[in-house]
Structure 1
Amino acid sequence: MNIYSYVHELKGVGPKAKEALNKAGIYTILDLLLYFPRDYENIDLNIDIEDIDEKQKIALDCTLIEVKRDVRTQTKKTLTTLIFNYKGLKVRAVWFNQPYIKMTFKIGETYKLLGKYKKKGKDLEVMNPLNACKELDKTEIIPKYNLNSNLTNKLLSKLIHGVLDNVLIKENLPLNIVDKYNFISLNDSIREIHFPKDRVTLKKAKDRLKFQELFTYSVKILMLKNHIKGDRKGIGFKISEELALLKEKLPFSLTKAQSRVMREILIDEKKTSPMNRLVQGDVGSGKTIIAIIAMFNVIKNGYQGVFMAPTEILANQHYLEILKVLEGFDVEVELLTGSTKGKEKLRIKERIRNGDPIIVVGTHALIEDDVEFKRLGMVITDEQHRFGVHQRSRLINKNEEADVLVMTATPIPRTLSLYLYSDLDISIIDELPPGRQKIDTVFYNEENRSLGYELALEEIKKGRQVYIVCPLIEENEDLKIKSVEETYEYLVEGLLKGVPIEILHGKMKPKEKDEIMKRFKVGETKVLISTTVIEVGVNVPNASVMIIENAERFGLSQLHQLRGRVGRGRHKSYCILIAKANNNVTKKRMQIMTMSSDGFYIAEQDLKIRGGGELFGFRQHGDNGLILSDFVEDIDILKAANNDAKFVVESNTMENIKICKEIVNSLENTTKYICFN
């Protein structure tokens, strides 16, 4: 069986199943094998009453002793109640609106009832239990996958079982590494992560696969670095005389840090080997102006420049800012995004193909195969962690001679950036421009959230605007997390009644998001309730309050990023963190945010605390192509994997050369880092 074959070729995958699988990002058999469970459910069997955890599902062998008459409630629900016996205890099982359920049971028969049991005195009660565990004869760990309307755990388990019955995944790490860490085989790891025998073996499988993923990531980065540092010839740009005029025209002076980084970039531009540099700068440190000056010099040398942003909102913002800064300097700027109309898109692509010396600002649309640059001189990506090494490679492949500049406002601890970006030279803007407003950060426990909204209302009365950020779009009963929609309902009928409020989240169409942001920018909307889609780059100087609900769910660096959306004008600004401070770790994290505005210090603390959230946000695995590992939480595995990858890449043994070649070949077929032949 070829793991790169399409999943719809599998037996039992019809049109509906194919659509459901594709919707979940499962196109090939490899995608299916690497669609790991998001969580696991530990099901204990026939445990003693004192060991029952009311939050966990368990399966008990219960004997039916009585069938009660159905009851109709005031809310017109039908309650069906059956009484069972378990080890001499009464078990009251209740089903809602399932009167037919009693027909499936017989008095005197024993059934395995699966559900969450509650202790009621000496007896037990279980609501809507399942009679679906006849095959369960020991404690089990049940995988739970991310699902959609037509994608079920049953379908996934059936398909994965079928594939694993017909495939043997061969070992592909050097045997000395497998022995060094006493890893279980890759074949066993894939099987165990889907169908674990026990908790110990599951942990071994996860550790092996995390290492596999981070080892492959490191090999890819190191080989990219070798390729970049090799014999590739760059362009070698002259320093334009107009640069001095541009700097004079700026309405502000560059900071010492900006000037230092600008010098490093211009020195790279003069070299005949291609630049490959990362610019790290805290929120508001002035990275964009650096990027504009760098591209300006490239355009004045007769080449093309690309500025790629992670969202259309940010791409539009950069486009307008570049137009404003370069007004009067005879530099043409184009905007190419997913929303660009057909004729306009064709016109811009034609200009790109003709080699016109223009700046093209856009989103992922810029790296599509039909965007063919004739004289590409510089590629700049904003918010580098949103793109990852694959997109970095694709950009470089547009023209291997072009200079590459990547930027991030997420301060990354040096200890981590050395592993993540070892293919890049690093410049740091560690100074904020003068006049940047200090943001007062306040933390409130959930029960005191109204104090934060009262402050927001006072600011609205002064003519200011407010951001409110929630981690989810829809309410989540299991996590008890504030959602965008729930918060909107709470405010429009309560504390902010009568105030113009709108919602913004990532599932909206780009045009809809742009229209909402435009209304907020011009002040028509006073309060914007959003997910973290507004985290990066959005600039509204009149916004003076940032309220973050469930702040404990975000990484410290992401909280710092969100905080940077305010304090951009001349008005006093505030960041209000509302969190469930149920433990000392959360309290410590909130204290760090209220005490410090230094993004690099905050990032270091985030790395030390670890479990308090991911460095890059609520869930960042997919953004970097990672499906199991986390750069922060798995920093020790990353260090070990990176060191072993260095040895493999740098040594010239036949086995290691073969391994590197296999990794490169496999990564051409997939964006996943774990499983390859």
Structure 2
Amino acid sequence: MASLGKFFSIGLLTRTQQFLSTPEEGIKKMTKKQLAKELALGQCLIVIGTQALLQESVDFYKLGLLVVDEQHRFGVEQRQLLLNKKLFTEDNKNLIAHFLAMTATPIPRSLALSLYGDLNLSVIKTMPSGRLPVATKIVEDEDRSKMYKFIRQLLDKGEQAFIICPLVDPSDKLAVKAVTDEFHRLATGEFKNYKVGLLHGRLSGAKKQAVMADFVAGNYQVLVATAVIELGIDVPGATVMVIESADRFGLAQLHQYRGRVGRRGQQAYCFLLKSPGSGTLAERRLRAVVKYNSGQELARLDLMWRGPGELYGYEQTGFVELQLANIFDQDLIMVAHKAALAVLSDRVWRHKAMAHLAWKSGVLDVLPQ
């Protein structure tokens, strides 16, 4: 933020923090109202933020580019709230901002929109320089002791490990590991000679930051955690990711967790453990994570197995009920797409077609512009 602020006015807007950096004054703290005013007047040219940008009180003077990172974490309605802020008028014409969505693991709906022409898709197929593919393995319950022995050998070399559990408190109904129980079991058992930390969403913000800072600094060798570590965590020494009840997580989540280790070029490992009685469908999904290191390929399988959801609605998964077409018949879909573009290139037919789609779906504001 400071480096960009040497050339442009740039703001930061989150639920708890608001700053503005300008070439003239450097970085200064602001209230939400003050920063919102700067945005509305066009005095702040770049703003970085969280879902706080979705507030009605936040508006833009001339929004030219909207970038959404970790796009799979945003729902359709959340993205639409941002897109609703995108129109501005110049020379009596409504202009639409450019929209760039980024993710390592596209959700089925987004992948379907890219496949069928509503979104242009760019894929970075190569791994970052120096990164090695994470070795991923499904571990059966009877092989736990072998896995823990292997992890201890890595810890003795100065490496670090994540242990991920899906819940904070025990649940007999789901029969999954609870992070609190797992922490006490490991800290007094398999890793009793190592420093073990605990991180979950019910801790205060300050406590979570303190635990993560200690883990990054190497004060903890093992961190038992919930989904709070899925995004935005960079621990140079972490080379092991153990995921309890991995069948309870989505493909995108598992791929994101796997991306938290081996970020400095070390060989890293991801171990997937199943819930009791997880079934063949869960086994199939976990085997896909083992086989593919590509988020794009996992997203394609997710689309095939869960469906694209509503392309003109809010559901992001599920199968489309079409009377004739098959959503996975890509060749036929592309022929139809070209024919539709020809129709929409005619102003009269475009108006009629869009009006018909709006009437059929009842959701005018989520139609492609």
**Which of the five TM-score ranges fits, normalised by the shorter chain?**
0.7 to 0.9
Distance in 1 (alpha carbons) for counterparts of 2:247 and 2:71: 25
Q: Secondary structure at the match of 1:575?
A: strand
Note if 1:378 corresponds to 2:65.
yes
Distance in 2 (alpha carbons) for counterparts of 1:407 and 1:481: 32
Written as runs of structure 1 = structure 2, the 5 A alignment for 1:584-663 is: 584-608=280-304, 610=305, 625-626=314-315, 631=317, 634-637=318-321, 652=352, 656=356, 659=359, 662-663=362-363
Note if 1:336 corresponds to 2:13.
yes
Deviation at 1:546, TM superposition (A): 0.5
Distance in 2 (alpha carbons) for counterparts of 1:456 and 1:421: 44
Specify the alignment match of 2:188 in structure 1. Answer: 493
When residues 332 and 526 of structure 1 are mapped into structure 2, their CA distance, relative to the original with a 3 A threshold, is farther
AA in 2 matched with 1:602: L
Deviation at 1:446, TM superposition (A): 1.9
TM-score, normalised on structure 2? 0.73
Q: Secondary structure at the match of 1:577?
A: strand
Q: Deviations over 1:494-534 (max 9, x none)?
A: 11225333333344454443343333333333322222232
Note if 1:559 corresponds to 2:254.
yes
Deviation at 1:557, TM superposition (A): 3.5
* 8 A Cα contact 1:557 1:615, kept in partner: no
Q: Secondary structure at the match of 1:376?
A: coil
Q: Secondary structure at the match of 1:450?
A: helix
Counterpart among 397, 409, 412 of residue 84 in structure 2: 397
Written as runs of structure 1 = structure 2, the 5 A alignment for 1:438-587 is: 438-580=133-275, 583-587=279-283
Distance in 1 (alpha carbons) for counterparts of 2:10 and 2:242: 36
Indicate the percent of aligned positions where both proteins have the same amino acid: 35
Q: Secondary structure at the match of 2:101?
A: strand
Q: Secondary structure at the match of 1:380?
A: strand
AA in 2 matched with 1:577: L
Written as runs of structure 1 = structure 2, the 5 A alignment for 1:413-424 is: 416-418=111-113, 423-424=118-119
Note if 1:430 corresponds to 2:125.
yes
Q: Deviations over 1:213-248 (max 9, x none)?
A: xxxxxxxxxxxxxxxxxxxxxxxxxxxxxxxxxxxx
Deviation at 1:346, TM superposition (A): 4.0
Any stretches of 5+ residues in structure 1 without a counterpart? 1-321, 668-677
Q: Secondary structure at the match of 2:162?
A: strand
Deviation at 1:575, TM superposition (A): 0.8
* 8 A Cα contact 2:130 2:264, kept in partner: no
Specify the alignment match of 1:8 in structure 2. Answer: none
Q: Deviations over 1:381-421 (max 9, x none)?
A: 11222223323232223232432211111045799523798
Distance in 2 (alpha carbons) for counterparts of 1:453 and 1:654: 59
Deviation at 1:422, TM superposition (A): 5.7
* 8 A Cα contact 2:161 2:239, kept in partner: yes
Written as runs of structure 1 = structure 2, the 5 A alignment for 1:245-324 is: none
Q: Secondary structure at the match of 1:546?
A: strand
When residues 386 and 491 of structure 1 are mapped into structure 2, their CA distance, relative to the original with a 3 A threshold, is same
Distance in 1 (alpha carbons) for counterparts of 2:174 and 2:44: 52
* 8 A Cα contact 1:558 1:615, kept in partner: no
Counterpart among 403, 406, 418 of residue 101 in structure 2: 406
Deviation at 1:564, TM superposition (A): 0.9
Distance in 1 (alpha carbons) for counterparts of 2:276 and 2:303: 20
AA in 2 matched with 1:403: H
When residues 415 and 339 of structure 1 are mapped into structure 2, their CA distance, relative to the original with a 3 A threshold, is closer
When residues 419 and 594 of structure 1 are mapped into structure 2, their CA distance, relative to the original with a 3 A threshold, is closer
When residues 455 and 563 of structure 1 are mapped into structure 2, their CA distance, relative to the original with a 3 A threshold, is same
Distance in 1 (alpha carbons) for counterparts of 2:219 and 2:321: 49
* 8 A Cα contact 2:114 2:120, kept in partner: no
AA in 1 matched with 2:288: I
AA in 2 matched with 1:455: F
Any stretches of 5+ residues in structure 2 without a counterpart? 19-28, 88-95, 328-332, 334-339, 344-348
Deviation at 1:490, TM superposition (A): 1.2
Q: Secondary structure at the match of 2:15?
A: coil
Question: Which runs of 4 or more aligned residues in structure 1 lie more than 6 Å from their structure 2 counterparts after TM superposition?
Answer: 638-643
Q: Deviations over 1:622-649 (max 9, x none)?
A: xx954xxx61xx3353796989xx99x9
Aligned pairs, number: 326
* 8 A Cα contact 1:603 1:615, kept in partner: no
TM-score, normalised on structure 1? 0.42
Specify the alignment match of 1:231 in structure 2. Answer: none
Written as runs of structure 1 = structure 2, the 5 A alignment for 1:82-121 is: none
When residues 607 and 450 of structure 1 are mapped into structure 2, their CA distance, relative to the original with a 3 A threshold, is farther
Note if 1:360 corresponds to 2:47.
yes
Deviation at 1:435, TM superposition (A): 1.1
Distance in 2 (alpha carbons) for counterparts of 1:484 and 1:528: 10
* 8 A Cα contact 2:10 2:44, kept in partner: no
* 8 A Cα contact 2:199 2:225, kept in partner: yes
Deviation at 1:487, TM superposition (A): 1.1
Q: Secondary structure at the match of 2:296?
A: helix
Distance in 2 (alpha carbons) for counterparts of 1:558 and 1:456: 22
* 8 A Cα contact 2:10 2:47, kept in partner: yes
Q: Secondary structure at the match of 1:495?
A: coil
Distance in 2 (alpha carbons) for counterparts of 1:546 and 1:348: 40
Note if 1:369 corresponds to 2:56.
yes
Distance in 2 (alpha carbons) for counterparts of 1:462 and 1:366: 44
* 8 A Cα contact 2:199 2:226, kept in partner: yes
Q: Secondary structure at the match of 2:242?
A: strand
Moved more, 416-425 or 557-566: 416-425
Distance in 1 (alpha carbons) for counterparts of 2:275 and 2:151: 20
Deviation at 1:448, TM superposition (A): 2.1
Written as runs of structure 1 = structure 2, the 5 A alignment for 1:7-46 is: none
Deviation at 1:480, TM superposition (A): 1.2
AA in 1 matched with 2:321: I
Q: Deviations over 1:581-634 (max 9, x none)?
A: 7555444444333333223333334445x3xxx699xxx99xx954xxx61xx3
When residues 615 and 533 of structure 1 are mapped into structure 2, their CA distance, relative to the original with a 3 A threshold, is farther
Which structure: larger Rg? 1
* 8 A Cα contact 1:413 1:600, kept in partner: no
* 8 A Cα contact 1:556 1:615, kept in partner: no
Distance in 1 (alpha carbons) for counterparts of 2:326 and 2:356: 15
Deviation at 1:544, TM superposition (A): 0.8
Distance in 2 (alpha carbons) for counterparts of 1:422 and 1:599: 20
